[in-house]
Amino acid sequence: MKHNNVLTIVSLLSIILLSLHFTDDIVYGSDRSPASNAVVIAVLVIWLYGALVLAERRSGHAIMLLGSLAGLVVFTVHVSRAGGLPAGALAESSGAFFFVWTLLALAVTSVFSAILAAHGLWNMRRSKAPNADPMN
**Which phi and psi angles does 52 have, rounded to 5°?**
-100, -40
Q: What is the pTM of this model?
A: 0.80
Domain ranges of the chain: 3-125
Answer positive or negative: Cα dihedral of 32, 33, 34, 39: negative
Along the 136 residues of the chain, how does pLDDT read in single tens digits?
Answer: 577 789 999 999 999 999 998 888 888 777 677 787 888 899 999 999 999 999 888 999 999 999 999 999 988 888 876 555 555 555 566 777 888 888 899 999 999 999 999 998 888 876 665 554 455 4
The CA R_g of the chain, rounded to the nearest whole Å, is 18
CB 107 within 8 A of CB 53: no
